[in-house]
Structure 1
Amino acid sequence: MSRLDSTQNFKVLSESENRVGDILQQVYQAMTEKGYNPVNQIVGYIMSGDPTYITSHNNARSLIMKVERDELVEELLKVYIEAKL
């Protein structure tokens, strides 16, 4: 049984960070090319898990489904914090 008074470490391998960033960039570009608001659509996908929020243009839907949603959130949060601090 795990203890509720201790904090667990969560670490994603750094090689996947580059892959996640590249995939997000490609998905963002595909969404923009198709005239969608990429931020709204990616948020919809992350919140729901429904891949239909992501266009299939340029294979964006298949690409984003290769990454776990928690990895997407981690990458977005990391980049945001690094830009703001």
Structure 2
Amino acid sequence: MGINETMMFKVDNEKENEAKEILVSVHQALKEKGYNPINQMVGYILSGDPTYITNYKNARSIVRRLERDELLEEVLKFYLENHNNEPE
């Protein structure tokens, strides 16, 4: 593939559903422990350091089931689908 070509990236639907479940589960665990879930999850996604995620309700192990890029893809997809005012 040449430098002027665009590479395609695709995550299958099963991983997409799993990412959604993981994000919701980890968010809830962080919230229950009194953390700011968004800040903690951003810290994890950007750094890869799992200590941003609590062990409560096994959230740290759960979040590591998927790669960070798969979690980020789900976040971007949700945001753009719900905040894009342009017609499809």
TM-score (normalised: structure 2): 0.93
Q: Does 1:63 align with 2:62?
A: yes
RMSD of Structure 2 on Structure 1 (CA)? 0.6
Any runs of at least 4 consecutive aligned residues in structure 1 with deviations exceeding 3 A, and if so which?
Answer: none
> For 1:5-84, what aligned pairs fall within 5 Å after superposition?
5-84=4-83
- Which blocks of at least 5 consecutive residues in structure 1 are unaligned? none
- Which blocks of at least 5 consecutive residues in structure 2 are unaligned? none
TM-score (normalised: structure 1): 0.96
Deviations 1:4-63 (A, max 9, x none): 111111110011100000010000000000000000000000111000000000000000
Percent identity between matched residues is 56
What is the alpha-carbon distance in structure 1 between the residues aligned to residue 71 and residue 17 of structure 2? 11
